[in-house]
């Protein structure tokens, strides 16, 4: 069953889609999916929709919310900061943990791009509530690069003077930049102690594959890393897509336990 859902986060309504396996008679494992920068809960080429449906077929529930200022949720893109998305993520986690049909011992996070950065930091901050972490091309480097006034390869040297940056027609606020100055994603991510699955394309120039190599060093034997040769950030081929999807589905089923 696919069900439209809403929750309140920081005084704003987040809107999303929940996937619940049919015929459940006991508490079920659950995955929370976080989307990336400039995207929404469906993600590029609907990969998060597919992932949720694949998990549902295996008896695993999931939910995909639009972050503040994205998709159908309240706010505009100029409202977002990484810290606000992290708080959105924590609020979504608490929402899931309060669902009576969710097995609270089997809740995982999954994130793509900046959503992967957010997922890794939420997992670090709430490690006792997250039993597995799945990351696709995590963009922790977006934060560190923006500290040097570079955003996904774009020079934003004048962001303080202008008070914003023009990102493909969307307004990125000065608050977003200032917020990044106070963040250390690797340090927060390192607090997480559970199993991790990392998938990255070796041709990714939006989020460097070095991010996943660094996370593998941090998580050590608890992490498995798949580098997909030829794939860039968007994994724009059927073979690349399948490699990434299969890796996540297999990891999450193994970590959470198939319910069927």
Q: How confident is the model at residue 258 (pLDDT cuts 50, 70, 90)?
A: low
Beta bridge partners, 135, equal 111, 198
Angle between helices 174-181 and 82-97 (to 10 degrees): 80
Residue 103 has pLDDT above 60, yes or no: yes
Answer yes or no: is pLDDT of 114 > 80.
yes
DSSP, collapsed to helix, strand or coil, labels residue 206 as coil
pLDDT above 90 (res 257): no
The predicted model gives 229-242 an average pLDDT of 97
Rounded average pLDDT over 42-53? 97
Give the model's pLDDT for residue 236: 94
Alpha-carbon distance of 64 to 40, in angstroms, equals 9
Confidence of residue 12 (pLDDT cuts 50, 70, 90): very high
Q: How high is the pLDDT of residue 26?
A: 83
pLDDT of residue 23: 83
The stretch 191-211 carries a mean pLDDT of: 98
Surface-to-core class of residue 169, CB atoms within 10 Å of its CB (0-12 exposed, 13-18 middle, 19+ buried): exposed
Query: What does residue 88 show for φ and ψ, rounded to 5 degrees?
Result: -55, -45
**Mean pLDDT rounded to a whole number for the chain:** 96
User: How many angstroms separate the CA atoms of 134 and 253, rounded?
Assistant: 11
Per residue in 131-176, pLDDT (tens digit) is 999 999 999 999 999 999 999 889 999 999 999 999 999 999 999 9
Q: What is the pLDDT of residue 260?
A: 45
In the predicted model, is pLDDT for residue 216 greater than 50?
Answer: yes
Domains by residue range for the chain, with CATH:
2-140+186-256 (3.40.50.1820)
């Amino acid at each position: 069953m696919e069900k439209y859902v809403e929750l309140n986060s920081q005084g704003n309504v987040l809107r999303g889609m929940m996937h619940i396996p049919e015929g459940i008679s006991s508490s079920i494992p659950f995955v929370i999916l976080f989307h990336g920068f400039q995207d929404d809960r469906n993600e590029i080429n609907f990969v998060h929709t597919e992932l949720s449906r694949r998990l549902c077929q295996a008896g695993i529930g999931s939910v995909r919310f639009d972050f503040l200022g994205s998709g159908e949720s309240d706010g505009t893109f100029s409202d977002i900061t990484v810290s606000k998305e992290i708080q959105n993520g924590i609020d979504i986690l608490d929402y899931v943990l309060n669902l009576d049909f969710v097995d609270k011992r089997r809740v995982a996070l999954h994130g793509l791009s900046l959503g992967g950065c957010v997922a890794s930091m939420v997992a670090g901050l709430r490690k006792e509530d997250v039993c597995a972490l799945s990351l696709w091309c995590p963009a922790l480097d977006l934060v560190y690069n923006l500290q040097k006034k570079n955003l996904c390869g774009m020079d934003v040297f004048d962001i303080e003077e202008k008070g914003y940056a023009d990102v493909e027609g969307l307004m990125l606020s000065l608050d977003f930049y200032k917020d990044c100055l106070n963040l250390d994603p690797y340090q927060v991510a390192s607090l997480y102690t559970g199993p991790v699955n990392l998938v990255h394309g070796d041709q990714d120039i939006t989020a460097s594959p070095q991010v996943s190599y660094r996370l593998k060093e941090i998580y050590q034997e608890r992490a498995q890393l798949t580098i997909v040769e030829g794939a860039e950030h968007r994994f724009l081929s059927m073979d690349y897509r399948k490699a990434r999807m299969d890796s996540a589905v297999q990891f999450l089923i193994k970590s959470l336990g198939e319910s069927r």
